[in-house]
Amino acid sequence: MRIVVASGKGGTGKTTVATSLARVAAERDRVRFLDCDVEAPNAALFLHPVLDSHREVGIRVPRVDADACTYCGRCAEVCQFNAIAVVGQKTLVFDDLCHGCGSCTWNCPEQAISEQLAVTGVIDSGQTAEGIAFAQGVMNVGQTMGVPILRELKQWTAAPPPVGHDLRGRALEIRDAPPGASCPVVETMRGADFVLLVTEPTPFGLHDLKQVVAIARELGLPAGVVINRDGIGDDAVAAYCAESDLPILLRIPMERRIAEAIASGQPLVEAEPRYRPEFQTLLEHIVAGVNA
């Protein structure tokens, strides 16, 4: 079962909720955690995995064999992104504009184009002390497209557990989504079974929550809401949830103690163990809902 933790607005507590949910789930289930916020991945700061594997990822960009090229210009004609151009007796490739779609490769009448990996980021993976299989995508600074990294991340398969390892429990995947409501959020949600939306009860939280609810609905995914920093702002989020048939599954109050613990890098359920049963209930509620 795959659970996505998303929010719309940044800084509402996605990583706080996702990491605590993973910690509680790992007590009984086999958990795989994917940090899908490739621009600002932070879950490792809370789960402390030993990241012993690193794989460079990116997109396949064209390389033109100058001896075979006849400068016919077909590649430039089919490229929708102006990433390849024929100027006189030269075919130029602009890696930064290339989307790696392969169209130029297939359409070259001389088969003069091959492809090579242009690295845009890395997939780091490993395990936490609690046995959570962990992977994160990290986009390189100066790069523009996170989605290809995200696609690779979703394909990541953890090393099989050692022989004799306890294989009981359910297989759960928790994905920590990026903020916003554009492409990378869709890619994070694609193929998931449930979307847990973390928001704060403010006009900004509500406005951006509506954007991600629209994506979840478009993809036909069931969703529920966690209200974080409950007590600040107003009641508009709760009213919206009621009229939109979105269950509020957990409320975490605005408490300075919680804010301080999270600031220092402690998972919520570790800093405040009273939340462990709350997260257990949250998890069982999600699993039961999806299986129903």
Partner 1 sequence: MKQLVILSGKGGTGKTSVTAAFAHLASQGPFADRILLADADVDAANLELVLQPRRLDTRPFSGGQVAVIDADICMTCGDCESVCRFDAIAEMDGRFVVDPIACDGCAACVYQCPAEGIHMEEQTVGEVAVSESRYGPLHHAHLYPGQENSGKLVTQVKERARQQALDESRQLVLVDGPPGIGCPVIAAVSGADLALLVTEPTVSGIHDLRRALQTVQHFGVPALVCINKADVYPKGAQDIEADCLANGINAIGQIPFDLSIASAMVAGEAVTAYRPDAPASLALTALWERVVTCLIAPDATPDT
* CB nearer to partner 1: pick between 70 and 107: 107
Shortest approach of partner 1 to residue 110 CB, angstroms?
A: 16
Segment lying near partner 1 (by CB under 8 A), choices 85-93, 134-142, 240-248, 280-288: 134-142
* Other Cβ atoms closer than 10 A to 154: 19
Contact 170, 287 (CB under 8 A): yes
Non-local CB neighbours of 228 within 8 Å, separated by 6+ positions: 12, 13, 16, 17, 198, 199, 200, 252
* Other Cβ atoms closer than 10 A to 47: 25
CA proximity to 228, closest of 171, 268, 277, 281: 268
CA proximity to 83, closest of 112, 109, 60, 65: 60
Interface residue with partner 1, options 58, 62, 126, 178 (CB under 8 A):
178
Here's the x/- map for partner 1, 196-225, by CB under 8 A: it reads as ------xxx--xx--xx-xx--x-------
- Does residue number 280 form part of the binding site for partner 1 (CB under 8 A)? no
Segment lying near partner 1 (by CB under 8 A), choices 49-57, 163-171, 178-186, 275-283: 178-186
CA distances in angstroms from 230 to 81, 113, 184, 286, listed in the order given: 45, 57, 28, 21
CA proximity to 195, closest of 289, 260, 120: 289
Size of site (CB under 8 A) for partner 1: 59
Non-local CB neighbours of 20 within 8 Å, separated by 6+ positions: 267, 268, 269, 275, 279
Contact 226, 13 (CB under 8 A): yes
Shortest approach of partner 1 to residue 232 CB, angstroms?
A: 4
CA distances in angstroms from 2 to 6, 101, 276, listed in the order given: 13, 28, 20
Range 71-110, binding partner 1 (CB under 8 A): 78, 80-81, 99-103, 106-107
Interface residue with partner 1, options 88, 89, 109, 144 (CB under 8 A):
144
CA distances in angstroms from 151 to 58, 76, 154, 169, 234, listed in the order given: 10, 26, 5, 27, 38
Range 228-267, binding partner 1 (CB under 8 A): 232-234, 254, 256, 259-260, 262-265
Residues forming a β-bridge with 118: 59
Range 23-42, binding partner 1 (CB under 8 A): 37, 39-40, 42
* CB nearer to partner 1: pick between 53 and 211: 211
Segment lying near partner 1 (by CB under 8 A), choices 9-17, 25-33, 157-165, 270-278: 9-17
* CB nearer to partner 1: pick between 29 and 126: 126
* CB nearer to partner 1: pick between 143 and 172: 143
Segment lying near partner 1 (by CB under 8 A), choices 8-16, 27-35, 61-69, 168-176: 8-16
Sign of CA dihedral 215, 37, 157, 270: negative
Contact residues for partner 1, defined by CB under 8 A: 8-12, 15, 37, 39-40, 42, 45-46, 78, 80-81, 99-103, 106-107, 139, 141-146, 178-183, 185-186, 190, 202-204, 207-208, 211-212, 214-215, 218, 232-234, 254, 256, 259-260, 262-265
